[in-house]
Structure 1
Amino acid sequence: MARLFTEQFSFSKGDSVVVVGLGRFGGSVAQSLMRLGHDVMGIDLDPEPVRHWAEELTHTIQANSTNAQVLRQLGVADFAHAIVGIGSDLAANLMTIMALTELGIKDIWVKATTPEHGQIAQRIGAHHVVYPEADMGERVAHQITGRMMDFIEFDDGFAIAKIHAPAATHDHALFESKVREKFGITVVGVKRANEDFQHATPSTKVQPGDLLIVSGPTRKIELFASSKRHKP
């Protein structure tokens, strides 16, 4: 789940990030950001997760994140990005967003549990809202049905996915299959067993067993992934 979340970021390497709420989600995201080369301050009201992550993160602090003055004293206003991962206390989640907004943080990401929660978060200052449980549920559903091996959906309904090459593309070059014209998606690349990844061109020939990296509207990718054989 943390990998799914961090893949959505557009952070520059080395940017400083404050993660508020070091539970299972927030702690995992903070750890992933550290691996990606970011300086991370972790804040939690509970001393136990603060102790747990003390050796993993740049800084960990036990503090009340709903108090803007406390955050200011901790230097949070100097951070480029903030992530609110508080999930068990809706009031604390929203009050933390308000405190970060008061400090003038320009890029606030928030974990939301419901669409209503997300709407409120955006109204009071969140710049980005993610729904990790829902996103992971959809990702797992795609994997269980066998349509997609991996799947990332962005805010505007655009997605990138790794799929098994549908039967409709087997033994044809992409320009013959007319994938873009018929399905409205783009094949970005092809991975064949025991061969290096190759960027796709119109002349790329797809073989049974190939893996395709595709991009486009989510629903169109779903239809393409489940398409049956027909003449191109």
Structure 2
Amino acid sequence: MADAHGPTVVIGLGRFGSAIALELTRQGAEVLAIDGSDRTVQALSSELSQVVTADCTDVETLRQLGVGDARHALVAIGDHLEDSILVTSLLVDLGIPDIWARATSAHHGRILERLGAHHVVFPEQEMGQRVAHLVSGNVLDYLRIDGDFALAKLHPPHEIINVPLSRSEIRSKHGVTVVAVKQGDDAFTYATNETVVGRDDVILAVGHSDDIEHLVGDA
């Protein structure tokens, strides 16, 4: 989300927003962080170079802060639905070319998309899905990508062990592609048709979420 040609504005410095602002700063991005709470701003003032207290539901305040010059903006407000919607609409009016917005429900997300948010994220839902897969014990890590696409880190299902991937028919049977393999303490390497996966190896598999679910169940 960071871009060297302009600042990134983060509005709302709860756990999610502050984590994003701090990580962008760590990566060397120029960040303008804004929250309505003096206490929150003061707590982050030693870690963020540009963090201010302001009412972001007022378009003139946003203009005075230079928000309209931003190339990227994240609306991380989660607890106040009306503020989230209003701030997102103001950013659209200011013509910011890349707007990210946090949603707390599918209905909230649809509203943000219709207002003009370019990216809508569901951090609680996505983290819940990830943890659920980890708790199940069949997957080592899980990441949903772009709606119904997912990437899973797991031990290989029995049917692909000790045969070249081209002969395992994992794509034709499961609709899933193994993109990388980790053997023992070695680093991950790209998988090829000739790659042979061992029982104790770890694979990265990508595919539609339902297909990944079936593969995980067979692992």
Query: Is the TM-score greater than 0.5?
Result: yes
Alignment of 1:72-151 (within 5 A): 72-151=63-142
Q: Which residue of 2 aligns with 1:176?
A: 167
Of 21, 34, 37, which residue of structure 2 is paired with 1:43? 34
Identity %: 40
- Aligned residue for 1:21? 12
Q: Secondary structure at the match of 1:206?
A: coil
Residue aligned with 1:109, SS: strand
Among 139, 157, 163, the alignment partner of 2:154 is 163
Contact 1:19 1:82 in 2 (8 A): yes
Structure 1 residue ranges (4+ consecutive) displaced by more than 4 angstroms after TM superposition: 11-15
Matches of 2:50 and 2:130, distance apart in 1: 32
TM-score (normalizing by structure 2): 0.94
CA contact (8 A) 2:3 2:71 kept: no
RMSD in angstroms over aligned alpha carbons? 1.5
* 3-state SS of paired residue (2:56): coil
Q: Which residue of 2 aligns with 1:224?
A: 215
Structure 1 residues 12 and 174, CA gap change in structure 2 (3 angstroms)? farther
The answer to whether 1:203 aligns with 2:197 is no
Unpaired stretches in structure 2, ≥5 consecutive residues: none
Instruction: Report the TM-score, using the length of structure 1 for normalisation.
Output: 0.89
Per mean C-alpha deviation after superposition, the further-off stretch among 13-22 and 127-136 is 13-22
Q: How far apart, in 2, do the equivalents of 1:216 and 1:188 lie? A: 10
Amino acid of the residue matched to residue 205 of structure 1?
V
Cα displacement (A) at 1:215: 1.1
Deviation at residue 147 of structure 1 after TM alignment: 2.5
Q: Which runs of 5+ in 1 are unaligned?
A: 1-8
C-alpha contact (below 8 Å) 1:14/1:38 kept by paired residues: no
Q: Is the 8 A contact 1:84 1:97 kept in 2?
A: yes
Aligned residues: 219
| Local SS of the residue matching 1:141 | helix
Rounded to whole Å, the distance in 1 between the matches of 2:107 and 2:29 is 31
